[in-house]
Amino acid sequence: MHEESHISIPRIRPRFKVHSQKRSEEIVSIIRNQLKSESPTCTGKTTAHFATIYPLAEDQHYWSPQLTITIEEEEQGSLVRGLYGPKPSVWTMFVFFYSFIGFAILIVLMIGLSFLTLDQPATILWLVPVLTFIFLSLYLVAYTGQKLGHKQMSGLHRFMERCLEQEIELS
């Protein structure tokens, strides 16, 4: 396993799927032991076939990522799926803002085009480029936040590679 990151930016919620020869109980046990080690690099929660891994509390900031792991039993080992993403509150906030702006653009277009069909001034249509600019600005903020959390995301990725004892490529 190499130390350089193979998580490229930009990626919207990068994920991986890897087959392991280990059983799900063994993988969960390894993750638990790594989280409880003398010098843990991450913290997290585990259940029978599920784990959520975070950076250490003292290293967390608003843009810190988390890694959600799902482990499925197979005939010979397990299928491990991982999903990197922001905290649920951050993800929900961006989805809300994107939805709100998209809905506002739709309403403004309907009103503006109605005015145009009635041969009235449709100055409300000037809001469309403004709302589009806000939409693109939000994307830039999200991209910047992802860059701020990239080092931590790489750390979570290396943690999982150590637990599975194999290199993991993102899909």
Residue 75 and residue 159 in one domain: yes
d(CA 152, CA 5): 11
Same domain, 110 and 159: no
Q: Is position 171 within any domain?
A: no
Which CATH number belongs to the domain containing residue 68 in this structure?
A: 3.30.310.80
Query: Do the domain assignments include residue 72?
Result: yes
> Within this chain, do residues 63 and 136 fall inside the same structural domain, yes or no?
no
User: What token pair was written down for 31?
Assistant: 């993750």
Do 48 and 101 lie in a common domain?
A: no
160 contacts 63 by C-beta, under 8 angstroms: no
Q: Are residues 20 and 74 in the same domain?
A: yes
Q: What is the mean pLDDT of residues 40-48?
A: 92
What pLDDT sits at residue 37?
87
pLDDT of residue 29 exceeding 90: yes
Measure Cα distances from 22 to 25, 45, 106, 157, 163 in Å: 8, 20, 50, 18, 11
Say whether pLDDT at 5 is over 70.
no
Domain residue limits at 47: 15-86+150-164
Residue 121's pLDDT is: 95
Give the chain's domain count: 2
Same domain flag for 57 and 120? no
Which of 8-12, 18-22, 60-64, 75-79 has the least mean pLDDT?
8-12
Whether residues 134 and 154 share a domain: the answer is: no
Per the domain annotation, does 110 fall within a domain?
yes
DSSP structure class, residue 42? E
Q: How far apart are CA 84 and CA 152, in angstroms?
A: 11
Tens-place pLDDT, residues 65-122: 999 999 999 999 999 999 999 999 998 999 999 999 999 999 999 999 999 999 999 9
Do residue 67 and residue 97 come from a single domain? no
